[in-house]
Chains A and B, each alone.
Chain A
Amino acid sequence: MKKENTARSLIVFISIVGLYLILVLNLFYWQVMRGKELKAMGFDQSSSSIDVPAKRGDILTSDGFPLATNTISYLVYTNPKVIKDKKTYALKVSEILGLDEASISAKLNSNLFWVKIGEFVDPGQKDALSKLNLPGMGFEQQPLRFYPESSMAAQLVGFLGKNEKGSDHGYFGLEGFYNEQLKGRDGKIIAIRDALGTPILNDIREEKKIDGRTIQLTVDRSVQFIAERNLKKGVEQFDAVGASVVIMDSKTGGILAMATYPQFDPQKYWEFDQKTYKNPVVSSLYEPGSTFKTLVMSSAIDEGAVTPSTRCDICSGPVRIGEYEIETWNGKYFANTTMAEVIEHSDNTGMVFVGRKMGLDNLLSYFKKFGVGENTGIDLQGEVSAEIKDEKDWYSIDAATATFGQGISMTSIELITAVNSIANNGVMMKPYVVSKIVTNEGKEIEIAPKEIRRTIKESTAKVMTAIMVDAVEKGEAKFAKIEDYKIAGKTGTAQIPVAGHYDPNQTIASFVGFFPAGDPKITMLVIFDRPQNSIYGSETAAPIFFSIARDLIRYYNIPPSN
């Protein structure tokens, strides 16, 4: 009997514990596992909310003019059920909006109460439509990203598109790189309602929107305009496939202009070839050709392997390396030529001599110092760099051709940053585009210039500058130079590798330099992609470089050197 009672008590106890456990587990399921979801559902039922979109930040040039800002446009809709004469209606609307009459007619003949007629309609068109007093027509405001300078600096600025969720998202250039800073955070106004749906007084909650930050650039609008005007002129004159110009403040590394051709209009980016979205200055690799000689010669002088007066003892004819023969670009050879003359004549055999004097390990160590093969860290989307292979993987022919910029791939920004270190007394500056970020509360965050490293000694930089001034005064581009101004520079004509060999008629023509040579203010690189009227940098990129330099001398009031 006692045993039976104990068993019964045990069953009751287990049942109670079991039920209790089920209760606890159930509570855990509803309150913990589905708690958040149910809370949100409850909140949705007792409240109504309105999204308050954050205003996207502006992109301003150094003079405070917006390259990208916001404006309003309109979505136009109508109710086809209330329209009597659909043909006239479609004709009037199509005339104002510039849309196809047939497509509007098709929309008006649908069996719907609401159809969208047009998107991103400007205020002028909206006013014209309003005046017609068309039945059923309505307008809804739509925020629109607006680029007042149209295609100016398009590749630098990028554009605002839509992501996979249909939300605004910045792509390419600054819109892409600074998307998080520019977009801000959307806000919400939440009204709490009672069971009948009446708003409960004083119970309106607000999640404040945070407007995007405005970014101010180092880019000078006038310099950008000058660069683009000259570049366009050059492309038309030399019938080039494309071109680009980068202008940098020699002391700080701040980008004053970055122009690319062909351009696109960020306002209507979908109408342009997607290839034009990419900024070739940071995203396209090319063989720098003879402009690279400035870096190799600086390295050799800095290392003490040569001096400007060292004479080349292998320059009397082509230099044989294994099965290959290194020739000069014009077939002219200068026996016992000095190093200064090697740069002046852009002598490939002289550069092979320099390479031999330096040795591969030193050469590669200076490549590293000049940042060859690594990203500069510029604040733009899509920067690339080509890795420099290990020392053991270099053949003698690779080392020889690298001295005159063949077989080495770089971006324009990589090259100008390296050459700018010669202009800046041997100190390499990090290139940057944004000088200031302004928060929505008006707080200004200044972005200071940043030194990357010392590449060469100050004395070497001075010697190399003098050699580059001589190259301008006496070299192939001397016809284009500016009287009374000392400009340091170097031409480059690099053949384009096509299917395992170099095409002699397809070149990248370039000119890199800085001025005034005594106290450089501007460092500039001009590149023409496959110019057809002349393949040489001295006849294409150099004249455009000096044309821009003339405009900049006038703009900055730079006094003559003499």
Chain B
Amino acid sequence: MKKTFKILFLVLIIFSVVSQIFNIWLVNSVDAQSIAASRLQSKIERLREQNSIIETEVWQYASYSNVASRAATLGFGNKKDFITLGAPQKLAIR
């Protein structure tokens, strides 16, 4: 009886240690907050960050205020003349 009790007690201790180790392994690998998932998550975050920076740069370069100021430095100006075609122009006579 005493021996049986000891074996049972030992089995229970081994089981609890194994299950605890298994739990730790699960938490670190399968869980949504695991180390592997965290690595993936931080990679996603890094890419998202880079994407956001690039997107911001695109908007900045494509903004009219930026295009207008760059155009001015390149020598482009506002068209002063205003031409309208009220009637069809005569074709050149050969």
Are the chains A and B members of one assembly? yes
Residue B21 is within 8 A (CB to CB) of chain A in the complex: no
Alpha-carbon distance between A553 and B82 when the two chains are bound, in angstroms: 10
Q: A146 contacts B64, CB within 8 Å?
A: no
Inter-chain contact A72/B82, CB cutoff 8 Å:
no
- Kindly list chain A residues whose C-beta atoms are within 8 Å of the C-beta of B32: 204
Q: Does B16 contact A (CB under 8 A)?
A: no
Query: Is there a chain A Cβ closer than 8 Å to B40's Cβ?
Result: no
Which 5 A-B pairs have CB atoms at the shortest separation, nearest pair first?
A148-B59, A71-B56, A148-B63, A225-B64, A123-B53
Stretch touching chain B among A296-304, A369-377, A477-485: A477-485
Residue-wise, chain B 22-41 has the 8 Å CB interface mask toward A (1 for contact) of 01001100111100000000
Q: Is the CB of B56 within 8 A of A149?
A: no
4 new A-B contacts at CB < 8 Å, known A65-B63, A198-B23: A65-B62, A148-B60, A199-B31, A201-B23
C-alpha spacing A66/B60, complex, angstroms: 10
B interface residues, how many (CB within 8 angstroms): 24
B65 touching A72, Cβ below 8 Å: no
Q: Distance in Å from the Cβ of B63 to the closest Cβ of chain A?
A: 5
Using an 8 Å CB-CB cutoff, how does the interface string of A196-227 with B read, 1 for contact, 0 for none? Answer: 00110100100000000000000001100100
CA distance A72 to B53 in the complex (A): 7
30 residue pairs bridging A and B, Cβ less than 8 Å apart:
A71-B52, A71-B53, A72-B49, A123-B49, A146-B59, A148-B56, A148-B60, A148-B63, A149-B63, A149-B65, A150-B63, A152-B64, A152-B65, A191-B33, A198-B23, A198-B27, A199-B27, A199-B33, A201-B23, A201-B27, A201-B30, A204-B32, A221-B64, A222-B64, A229-B78, A483-B84, A484-B86, A485-B84, A550-B82, A560-B84
Interface SS majority for chain A: mixed
Binding site for A on B (CB under 8 A): 23, 26-27, 30-33, 49, 52-53, 55-56, 59-60, 62-65, 68, 78, 82, 84-86
Provide the main secondary structure of the chain B interface: helix
Cα–Cα, bound, A386→B68 (Å): 40
Which of these, B30, B63, B85, contacts A560 with CB under 8 Å? B85
With the chains together, A550 CA to B84 CA distance in Å?
10
A69 at the interface (CB under 8 A from B): yes
Q: B88 to nearest A CB, angstroms?
A: 12
In residues 530-555 of chain A, which contact B (Cβ within 8 Å)?
Answer: 550, 553-554
Cβ contact within 8 Å between A201 and B53: no
Question: Shortest beta-carbon distance, B37 to chain A, in Å?
Answer: 11
What's the tally of chain A residues with a CB closer than 8 Å to chain B? Answer: 32
Query: A70 — which chain B residues lie within 8 A by C-beta?
Result: 52
Residues of chain A within 8 A of B84, CB atoms compared: 483-485, 553, 560
Among B30, B31, B56, which residue has the most Cβ atoms of chain A within 10 A?
B56
Residue of B nearest to A222 (CB): B64
Q: How far is the CB of B23 from chain A (nearest CB, A)?
A: 7
| Residue contact A66 to B31, C-beta cutoff 8 Å | no
C-alpha gap A204/B33 in the complex (Å): 9
Q: What B residues does A66 contact at CB under 8 A?
A: 59
Contact call B55/A71, Cβ cutoff below 8 A: yes
Residue in chain A with minimal CB distance to B60: A148
Per-position 1/0 for A355-390, Cβ under 8 A of B: 000000000000000000000000000000000000
**CB-CB < 8 A to A146: which residues of B?**
56, 59
* CA A146 to CA B63, docked complex, whole Å: 12
A69 with B26: CB separation less than 8 A:
no
Q: Which of A45-89 contact B (CB under 8 A)?
A: 65-66, 69-72
Closest to B34 in A: A199
Known: A201-B26, A201-B31, A560-B84. A150 touches B52 (CB 8 A): no
* Given A149-B64, A149-B65, A201-B27; A560-B86 close (CB under 8 Å): yes
Tell me which residues across on chain A come within 8 A of B52, comparing CB atoms.
70-72
Please give, as numbers and ranges, the residues of chain A lying within 8 Å of B53 by CB-CB distance. Answer: 71-72, 123
**Complex alpha-carbon distance, A70 and B52, angstroms:** 8
A69 with B65: in contact, given A201-B26, A204-B32, A550-B82 (CB under 8 Å)?
no
